[in-house]
Chains A and B, each alone.
Chain A
């Protein structure tokens, strides 16, 4: 294989000489490359509120963002981590992938923290730090939590004379009442969530304190909470509360439906509030209100609000990257108190308790208190394990089959249990 590869190399480098500009070796790179979901770039670099701007100027180093979907991002990252050398300097990493086996591929951060510490690291929620700590060594610095809220179009509710729902039961009723045809013939759908993921369905299950997989790795799809949630989605679909093409509606498309007033209510990350009310992009700017997801009446005595999903993202440095010290310096800058607040004002879920107490946050973000309430009771939608991608694919497949009526809800959820159980860690 080596001989062949060398030949290919000779051929290719001959080509490269004619086609590519020669690379100039230098100590300080021209750019650092960050691989992330686009939302991270948006909240970090919003116009006039760019948390990386000063750092770039001081260091004379630019930042190149590579943004991909959550799935594609981790697929890409894992491929890059396996190489002898990667051009990725910083990666954003979702909690679901935080398993111990991955730590061999990541730069341990204790020594960096010792030499050039992140400002008041204790202020960052301990639960988030612990999730990326293995055998006492820290491997990622939390940057974002995405906690789910309930978003509703206040204009439409008012039009129909509906009070904002306080329990899940009221929410269901409202969703039905908000499904109607406008004068111009376009339809308004009372409720909509992403049809291609598991996280927001878990949110609904949490209204009854349900789960897909519990924190101690039990499949809970056949229990009350998840059964209620999936049956509800099935009913909504059948009644036309959710649109016919639900199974093809991605997370991002839900935003468009909310922005155009074609969907009246949804459950997704609290920070989306900013996008829904952006006058440049939304026809419903100013109309979308964001609050904590209501809990079912029977659980009112246990919870004030539903323990909705809290996902979080950490910044990691690949063990095979080239500019680790510089990358760390950028990471610590992005994790500072000031940066955390700026990003939060851009719509990020802040990872510092102190950020919620700042006057700016309370003044500018109407949903800050609700988000904090969710954060206090919420938990991750799926605990980390090696086969998480496979398990979530199975869940989505069976969920779609149940909601579209290809098989009974109970059968589908039973099937998830049988198929996912062998994939779980023992």
Chain B
């Protein structure tokens, strides 16, 4: 009797989270899947077209262009962030002056909205008058031609994205690192391991779960990259910097081609799952099968 009511209580406790996810994200996603098999626009009855929308998207060179851009930016952003966050976390764990203040400063960009971040970076890179463009010129480097050149623009998008999200990766890795028992290091030090050795042999393996969490969430977040590109370059110049989310937005809300947009949406979902499949499996094993 008691077990029954406890089980019921548990079910009730899990229900809100599951319901929210299913109703707000799950079912609408399935609806998008259905839409992706139809051709429809506002005020038109949907007509079943099979996989025609997918064929349209896959035959569009702009889709592949957007895919390549997304792929490059996501990987650059995620791994640069990971390495920087790991280095910073190790630095902080080894003891630094002004620790509290410095952590506040590191976390600060995380509080900045994408809109404000774009404004800041645009302002700093304004030709002739911007601080960063001025500094670049002073040092004698070639200007970051983000308004004219695809890779420069994507570099800026990546920088902006790293700036905004580095605190998140740092936070996860640093707090995980603080949890590493001191004794481990001490025994390693007695064994005569040097700092790099300790890092590779002890820190990284212990941090692995946290690294996986950070990686997976950053992949998921980076893959949907929208506001940075939309507000900074709008996909330009000449659609050179389009990413998948802006490509979807263009078809959905500018051209009102919902079938095509839905197909893009599902391709994005599948892409996210593929990218994170390895991590997902690892997570699944670690978090759910283990009897902790």
* A397 contacts across to B, CB distance below 8 A: 236, 238-239
CB contact list, B219-261 vs A, under 8 A: 233-234, 236-239, 250, 253-256
Interface residues of chain A: helix, strand, loop or mixed (majority): helix
Complex Cα–Cα for A246 and B147 (A): 7
Q: 1/0 per position for A177-206, CB-CB distance to B under 8 A?
A: 000000000110000000110000000000
* B250 contacts across to A, CB distance below 8 A: 393
A111 beta carbon closer than 8 Å to chain B: no
B186 beta carbon closer than 8 Å to chain A: no
- Taking the nearest CB of chain A, how far is it from the CB of B169, in angstroms? 29
Q: Is the CB of B127 within 8 A of A71?
A: no
- The chain A residue sitting closest to B24, CB to CB, is A8
CB contact list, A245-270 vs B, under 8 A: 245-248, 262
A7 CB contact (under 8 Å) in B23, B126, B127, B148: B23
* A79 contacts across to B, CB distance below 8 A: 42, 253
- The verdict on A245 contacting B127 (CB below 8 Å), with A71-B254, A390-B255, A397-B238 known, is yes
* A168 contacts across to B, CB distance below 8 A: none
* A248 contacts across to B, CB distance below 8 A: 146-147, 233-234, 236-237
Complex Cα–Cα for A1 and B236 (A): 39
A271 beta carbon closer than 8 Å to chain B: no
- The verdict on A262 contacting B238 (CB below 8 Å), with A75-B253, A78-B256, A244-B143 known, is no
B128 beta carbon closer than 8 Å to chain A: yes
Complex Cα–Cα for A244 and B127 (A): 8
Q: Is the CB of B238 within 8 A of A400?
A: yes
Complex Cα–Cα for A398 and B143 (A): 24
Complex Cα–Cα for A195 and B238 (A): 11
A4 CB contact (under 8 Å) in B27, B127, B128: B27
- The chain A residue sitting closest to B42, CB to CB, is A82
Q: Is the CB of A247 within 8 A of B255?
A: no
A389 beta carbon closer than 8 Å to chain B: yes
- Taking the nearest CB of chain B, how far is it from the CB of A82, in angstroms? 4
How many residues on chain A are close to B (CB under 8 Å)? 34
- The verdict on A404 contacting B237 (CB below 8 Å), with A1-B31, A11-B23, A247-B148 known, is yes
Q: 1/0 per position for B1-41, CB-CB distance to A under 8 A?
A: 00000000000000000010001100100010000000000
Complex Cα–Cα for A104 and B42 (A): 12
Interface residues of chain B: helix, strand, loop or mixed (majority): loop
- Taking the nearest CB of chain B, how far is it from the CB of A94, in angstroms? 14
B139 beta carbon closer than 8 Å to chain A: no
CB contact list, A380-407 vs B, under 8 A: 389-390, 393, 396-398, 400-401, 404, 406
B129 beta carbon closer than 8 Å to chain A: yes
Complex Cα–Cα for A11 and B22 (A): 13
Q: Is the CB of B238 within 8 A of A389?
A: no
Q: 1/0 per position for B110-144, CB-CB distance to A under 8 A?
A: 00000000000000001111000000000000010
- The chain A residue sitting closest to B239, CB to CB, is A397
Q: Is the CB of A404 within 8 A of B254?
A: no
- The chain A residue sitting closest to B129, CB to CB, is A186
Q: Can you name 17 A-B residue pairings with CB atoms under 8 Å?
A: A4-B23, A105-B43, A196-B236, A243-B127, A244-B148, A245-B127, A245-B147, A245-B148, A246-B147, A247-B236, A247-B238, A248-B236, A262-B128, A389-B255, A393-B254, A396-B236, A398-B238
Other A-B contacts than A4-B23, A7-B23, A71-B254, 14 sampled, CB-CB below 8 A, are A1-B31, A195-B237, A244-B145, A244-B147, A244-B148, A245-B127, A247-B148, A248-B233, A248-B234, A248-B236, A248-B237, A396-B236, A404-B148, A406-B237
- B→A interface (CB under 8 Å): 19, 23-24, 27, 31, 42-43, 126-129, 143, 145-148, 233-234, 236-239, 250, 253-256
